[in-house]
Structure 1
Amino acid sequence: MTVVTTGHGRLSGTEEDGITVFRGIPYAAAPVGPLRFRPPEPPAAWDGVLDATAFGPTAPKTPYPAPLDELLPDPDVPGDACLNLNVWTPDPGGGPLPVMVWIHGGSLRNGSSAVPTYDGRAFARDGVVLVSVNYRLGIEGFGVFPDAPANLGLRDQIAALGWVRDNIRAFGGDPGNVTVFGESAGAISIAALLTSPHAKGLFRRAVLQSGAPAAVAPDTARPTTTAIAERLGVAATAEALARVGRAELLAAQTAVTHGGNPLTGTTGFHLVVDGDVLPRDPAAALADGAADGIDLLMGSTTDEYRLWFVPSGLVDRINAVALRLVLLKQRAPWRAARVYRAARPGASPGEVLGAIATDKLLRIPLNRLADARAGRPGRTFLYEFAWPSPVLGLGACHALELGFVFDTLDSADTRALTGPDAPRELARAMHAAWVAFAAAGDPGWAPWSTERPVMTFGAADGSAVVRAPRERERRLWE
């Protein structure tokens, strides 16, 4: 047993394969009672030694809908004190070591730090103090109310980063060398944190995996909250919804947000421009230099869309007429279908639509952000993950890179996406790049420039830097 002292009390962790792990550390008070639908408050100090050997409660949520529930395991740990985090460290008494803080994805309504793929031992093995965070999800984290602040889940993330600043030295970490990284909704959150005055100075570098800057006006996000309240027969206020039991609230949330996906659209939750945590649209703020001086590593997978289009059968239900109608509705460039199909001989209309949607929502916004940062303080590095999974024809789908970044290919949960024979050398290379970026701001390839270098991990002919990949398609969106 290893004991450390934090600002709120002492903690006992456990030794695992030469790594010291502390789980379920409270960074804020349980968001229940008068604290429900309110900004996070510091946790109460405790006497004695707090047992930090098991994952803490996860935020209230329901499982992913079928068939994604088989591909994206989502552990549920009961309890109210869901504002907790975990720390993996090679030596609590050593350091100071670089720190990486993981913010999970899940469409702002799923996910947690207890997902086995996110085990931090490989990072600690390689000299990084790894922190993973839980934050409020769904309507409790991202509802929009007239009587409560917006972006509560984002405020939770900021509170966790504040805890890291104040306490990570006790775990051997360097509070002046913190990299925040996340995937999907976690990356979207980080893009917002890069622009938030509340997060200023809390991290030095950032990694955006398969998530681009995005936020909407409160009136755009409010209908999800209103629909949930109407289903419950209560007012769409924090006061009224706080009187609803969590199980009932989750059932209504699931009914309202069921169906659709991040690429085709659905009723869901969003970060909002609230004039406080998010004073401006993050994409515009970043283009204007809001993150100047912060190094960025960002990218996507080649076939993001296949996670949603293939297991559901959607890829086969889209015909040429449906493709044309969707592109008209989404105001895609008129030549898009022809240009994308030319680069993908034999692709079905659903596959063409998926490639276009992947670019529109991820690759193009990230390229634009990289272009806007060119020549400004802070370097930018882009990557693409191209290794195709053999599972269900998923290809290089959304979330596939996670087991490679964390070097957790042996986890059964990781193998649900990768299959049993994923290339370990690719995991070692990708994981090492993330470690190098966190340590010194250089993942091992050239920063963004007019040559548009993109490190492509796991391509058919091996990992290599590709200059201006699929440039004809990108230029459609200029």
Structure 2
Amino acid sequence: MTAGRENPLIRTPYGAVRGRWDQGVAVFRGIPYAAPPFGPRRFRPPAPPEPWDGVRDAGAFGPTAPKPPYSEAFAQYLSDPVVPGDDCLNLNVWTPEPSPGARLPVLVWVHGGALTRGSSAVPVYDGRTFARDGVVFVSVNYRLGVEGYGLFPDAPANPGLRDQLAALRWVHESITAFGGDPGRVTLGGQSAGAISTGALIAAPQAQGLVRRAVLQSGPPEVTDRDKVRRMVRRMANRLKIPATAEAFAAADREHLLRAQAEVGRLSSPVLGGPSFGIVVDGDLVPRDPLEALTDGAAPGVDLLTGWTRDEYRLWLVPGGLLERVDRLGAVALAGAMARCRCGSEVPRGYRALRPDAGTADLVGQMVTDHLLRLPLHRLSDARTEPTYVYEFAWPSNRPGMGACHALELGFVFDSGDEPDARKLAGEGAPQDLADAMHGAWVRFVSDGSPGWERWGPHHPVRVFGDGEPHIVRGPRDRELALWTAPSTPTDGDPPASAPELRSVIRRLRRSGALRRN
């Protein structure tokens, strides 16, 4: 509490909440924006919270959504706090001026974690630094894994995404009292949070709720419904129950989480496999968000988007997978071709551009470009609204991690002093880089321009962490052009049989795509 000041009190549409002062910033944690999604509400769209009498204490983070823990290999790099309790549809607000007259810009943050992990309580997501710089910051919890993205014949799809929409509506109705301007809301997220942001700005039901958007290391996309159904069926087989919402709701919650972790252990952007994801549902997500956005959905929404230089290293380095992919050589590269549905001319082109790269680096960059950079390029090219693109290039001080997925978060939030940020960045992360990145995000949220030229025909990309921040024109254009060559198949089923795989390997060896050791 700041000396001489009472803890701040705000009245929301559902009741009063009392927060705390933290270094000149008013913080309200654990405010419910929807009712607990359990009992008769399980696997159902979010319902409004029950109003309360008196003053609700908002001094601590609320419960987190049910989720399995990270494996030991990933837990050494990523933190994922657990707060027990059923009232997990809650949010937090940091504000420098909790007054209706302030009318400050607002950033609503959707956390990442592959839609199966993460929460607003992750220490790196401390909103105090944004509030310190004049932004009202809101972070949101939402349902994860099978609770939020399971696909059942007897329940609506995408309840986790519907939670996020409910939180956005809460912000639109309530944020004025906290000092925010509901007409200046930026929705942003990283990884799965960026994928969710893309789906929401494309959703007809969210129109008018968002003025700007940030997509960090995640493109607008949907997951094939059969892929999600396979995840649910495999869980059902392990649990020996029907693959219905009714049966899953009756199952023990811890048993569900264990089954989910076991079935999903091989799911990753590089490996593929069954996974949870946003699906086209004919309602909240009437069509593929990328297609909708390239066709002009989200008119008037400014966009900031980007990626890290070595996204794939977070997926491959923990657990020694990078070395195993290198040892697999042709088999790994053939698997990447199947995953990306491309011919041998694509890895051959990457080998020509990266003659010294190992197989794992080649596979990682191919998959990253196919799944992430290519759709973000396509989206940026199609938009008429102001769009800005960046690349984060500073390599972690942790061995082998490079400029990996999620590394930029400690710099965006200027939270590098947090022990949890150092788990991924190591010791000695440069403060001037945090000042540059955080400042760019604050400027974008505040007035729509992060401080460099908008996307255009020459593809200007702001590079952070490779010397002083600077513009490079088309740094990924040569690689991404390989995917649009006429001879590159872009759809159809990937090779599946052993003879087909052997044929792909022979083509790879003949083409020179494999590094000669």
For 1:95 and 1:342, the matched residues in 2 are separated by: 56
Contact in 2 for aligned 1:13/1:53 (Cα 8 Å): yes
- Counterparts of 1:45-124 in structure 2 under 5 Å? 45-93=51-99, 94-124=101-131
The CA deviation at 1:472 is 1.6
The CA deviation at 1:69 is 1.1
The CA deviation at 1:259 is 2.1
Q: Which amino acid aligns with 1:77?
A: V
Contact in 2 for aligned 1:216/1:281 (Cα 8 Å): no
For 2:337 and 2:244, the matched residues in 1 are separated by: 37
- Counterparts of 1:301-316 in structure 2 under 5 Å? 301-316=308-323
SS of 2:80 mapped into structure 1 = coil
- Counterparts of 1:229-378 in structure 2 under 5 Å? 229-318=236-325, 319-329=328-338, 330-373=340-383, 376=384, 378=385
Give TM-score, length-normalised by structure 1: 0.97
Q: Which amino acid aligns with 1:218?
A: R
Q: Which amino acid aligns with 2:433?
A: L
SS of 1:255 mapped into structure 2 = helix
The residue number in structure 1 matching 2:190 is: 183
The CA deviation at 1:336 is 2.7
- Aligned residue pair count: 474
Give TM-score, length-normalised by structure 2: 0.90
The sequence identity of aligned pairs, in percent, is: 57
Q: Which amino acid aligns with 1:321?
A: A
Q: CA distance change for structure 1 residues 345 and 424 in 2, over 3 Å: closer, same or farther?
A: farther
Q: Deviations over 1:398-430 (max 9, x none)?
A: 000000111100000000011120111111110
For 1:332 and 1:219, the matched residues in 2 are separated by: 22
Contact in 2 for aligned 1:70/1:416 (Cα 8 Å): yes
The CA deviation at 1:194 is 1.4
For 1:430 and 1:350, the matched residues in 2 are separated by: 29
Q: Is the counterpart of residue 410 in structure 1 residue 417 in structure 2? A: yes
For 2:16 and 2:476, the matched residues in 1 are separated by: 53
For 2:91 and 2:243, the matched residues in 1 are separated by: 31
For 2:423 and 2:355, the matched residues in 1 are separated by: 29
Q: CA distance change for structure 1 residues 466 and 64 in 2, over 3 Å: closer, same or farther?
A: same
2:168 to 151, 161, 164: 161
The residue number in structure 2 matching 1:125 is: 132
Q: Which moved more, 1:101-110 or 1:62-71?
A: 62-71
Contact in 2 for aligned 1:19/1:124 (Cα 8 Å): yes
The CA deviation at 1:333 is 4.5
The CA deviation at 1:9 is 0.6
For 1:24 and 1:472, the matched residues in 2 are separated by: 47
- Counterparts of 1:184-223 in structure 2 under 5 Å? 184-223=191-230
For 2:457 and 2:34, the matched residues in 1 are separated by: 44
Contact in 2 for aligned 1:181/1:190 (Cα 8 Å): yes
The CA deviation at 1:297 is 0.5
For 1:275 and 1:157, the matched residues in 2 are separated by: 18
For 1:220 and 1:71, the matched residues in 2 are separated by: 28
Q: Is the counterpart of residue 150 in structure 1 residue 157 in structure 2? A: yes
Q: Deviations over 1:154-177 (max 9, x none)?
A: 000000000000000111000000
Q: CA distance change for structure 1 residues 49 and 391 in 2, over 3 Å: closer, same or farther?
A: same
SS of 1:393 mapped into structure 2 = coil
Contact in 2 for aligned 1:87/1:132 (Cα 8 Å): yes
SS of 2:165 mapped into structure 1 = helix
For 1:441 and 1:241, the matched residues in 2 are separated by: 44
2:394 to 387, 396, 412: 387
For 1:91 and 1:346, the matched residues in 2 are separated by: 54
Cα root mean square deviation, aligned: 1.2
Q: Which moved more, 1:254-263 or 1:433-442?
A: 254-263
Structure 1 unmatched ranges of 5 or more: none
Contact in 1 for aligned 2:308/2:403 (Cα 8 Å): yes
Contact in 2 for aligned 1:436/1:444 (Cα 8 Å): yes
The residue number in structure 1 matching 2:12 is: 6
SS of 1:157 mapped into structure 2 = helix
The residue number in structure 1 matching 2:48 is: 42
Structure 2 unmatched ranges of 5 or more: 1-6, 485-517
The CA deviation at 1:151 is 0.2
Following TM superposition, the consecutive aligned residue runs of length 4 or more in structure 1 with deviations greater than 6 angstroms are: none
For 1:323 and 1:241, the matched residues in 2 are separated by: 36
Contact in 2 for aligned 1:333/1:477 (Cα 8 Å): no
1:32 to 34, 38, 43: 38
Q: Which amino acid aligns with 1:57?
A: P
The residue number in structure 2 matching 1:445 is: 452
Contact in 2 for aligned 1:333/1:476 (Cα 8 Å): no
For 1:328 and 1:267, the matched residues in 2 are separated by: 18
The CA deviation at 1:345 is 4.4
For 2:138 and 2:336, the matched residues in 1 are separated by: 41
For 1:163 and 1:288, the matched residues in 2 are separated by: 28
The residue number in structure 2 matching 1:400 is: 407
For 1:210 and 1:328, the matched residues in 2 are separated by: 22
